[in-house]
Chain A
Amino acid sequence: MSNMIIGRYVPGNSIIHRLDPRVKLILSISFIVLIFLANNWLGYVVLGLFTLVAVVSTKISLAVYLRGLKPVLWLIIFTIILQLFFSPAGHVYLAFGPFTVTDMGIINACYVFLRFVFIILMSTVLTLTTPPLALADALEYMMKPLLKIKFPVYELSLMLAIALRFVPTLMDETVKVMNAQRARGVDFASGSIIKRSKAIVPILIPLFVGSIQRAIDLGDAMEARGYQGGENRTKFRVLKWQRRDTVAVLIFVCVLVVLIATRFII
């Protein structure tokens, strides 16, 4: 668990930390789309520089990012190998049976590797610098247009906020239930797959029942405090667009322009 870096927030006060979460969310999604625009080495250099600047300006140590790459390492290697051996186009260096290693294959494998690394680094930048709650606020803001088609935006974002708030609580409870069951002799760590899945039941059922009780209590408490539904509510948290957010968007647009230019240069 401690190795999971994706989805974890590291408090800090860098320029990226202080950006509006909406900007960070939209830019990281656009960046992933942008990556597929690059089709030559110059494009990848531009993207690489941009990613590097973003990573360095979070002021979080590089080791943290490398740990984030670790869990997907096997996926990356697997895809690179597929690219390397199964690209029939271009000049052939090696050929044995169905496998061919060509210059195109090598180049494509490099590109795929870089794409993976950039995407993961950028999404890690997003999650490391943005508290989950700010992300939920950003999502709510972005879903606002859906109000027009009667989509329950406020209800969905309240659900998201409550879910996020209860994640640590439920984690604690899971550990407690597991320890309680261990104390009564349930073994979670050994035996066949079937035996191990059966051992999960005495954790799941109490957690379910506990969650339902929590939901009832929380519902009562919310109603007692005057919650009548999403409309006509004011908001305590507000997102403020500041000059640095405009600057971030402008920088991103510059990168986009340069990137499009590289497609025509080579």
Chain B
Amino acid sequence: MDNIIEVKNVSYQYPNSDYKALDNLSLTIRKGEWVAIIGHNGSGKSTLAKLLNYLLVPDTGELIVDKQPVIEENMWTVRNKVGMVFQNPENQFVGATVADDVAFGLENRGISRQKMLEIIPMALKEVHMEAFADREPTYLSGGQKQRVALAGIIAVAPKIIILDEATAMLDPKGRKEVIAAILKLKARLGDELTVLSITHDIDEAADADRIIVINDGQVVDEGRPAEIFSAGPKLLELGLDVPFAEQLKSALNNLGISVPSKYLDEEGMINWLWQLNSKM
């Protein structure tokens, strides 16, 4: 598969900051891949997201999105290809009602009203918000607002969706709803959609094809979720959580029960536990 995102030796330092938010960072993401970027607060994850969209300009280095270099002349083409869902559901809601908010991106692209009337209900249906089209944001939960934000992006059909800690401010239920909506979208579009999810929610990262771990503006590790999670203690050192199955394993280990060293997801852990029981 082709590389859809290439980040080459990018550094960025915020004007009022003493250290580099990103330090000579390089990574590539292939078309159709679902990549999770994890790292503790201040590790430079969100900065990377904003650089990919030309909301920030790198000090040094080069970014390429879908064969287009991310530079000033290309910024609107790049923004057309990349849809972003930000962290705070309240602050990114532009429209006065749900339908208005979904329409915002379409209005910016000069789509005719006739077309909008077809696209908006479809986009809202995709995230199960069609019954809320006339609702004002005050009457929506955080998870519902994030689903509307996602619908606004689905409406303009980008090739890449970046979730910049999109579930960080949601309750567990809202978080599940948003992740389910993205999983469904990804299943429908397949390789036509690349998802880059920036998160410190480990369960969200577990759904990814590949995880990239960032610490202090540099890539420290990358691999499939199973590979990354089996390095449990190392993740804890980086200020990250480990999945529940991994926590259970270390608790069992402390009780003197020998556990397999390779990573198991919840399903795998259940199978192992129940086989362990039958042997006794």
Contacts and interface: CB of A to CB of B under 8 A. Distances in A.
B94 A222 contact: yes
A148 interface: no
A220 interface: yes
Interface in B111-154: 111-113, 116, 120, 136-138, 152-153
A236 B109 contact: no
Interface string B91-116: 11111110110011111111111001
Interface residues of A, number: 28
B55 interface: yes
B86 interface: yes
Interface in B16-55: 50, 53, 55
Contacts of A235: 107, 113
Contacts, number: 92
Given A165-B96, A169-B90, A220 B137 contact: no
Contacts of B96: 133, 161, 164-165
Nearest to A218: B91
A228 B76 CA distance: 9
Given A133-B96, A236-B99, A238-B113, A224 B53 contact: yes
Query: Of residues A168, A172, A213, A237, which shows the largest number of chain B Cβ atoms within 10 Å of its Cβ?
Result: A237
Contact of A232 (B95, B100, B110): B110
Given A214-B91, A226-B156, A227-B104, A236 B53 contact: no
Contacts of B97: 133
B86 A221 contact: yes
A234 B138 contact: no
A225 interface: yes
Given A161-B96, A217-B88, A234-B116, A224 B79 contact: yes
Nearest to B149: A221
Contact of B108 (A218, A225, A237): A225
Given A220-B86, A224-B79, A226-B108, 5 more contacts: A161-B96, A164-B96, A217-B86, A233-B107, A234-B110
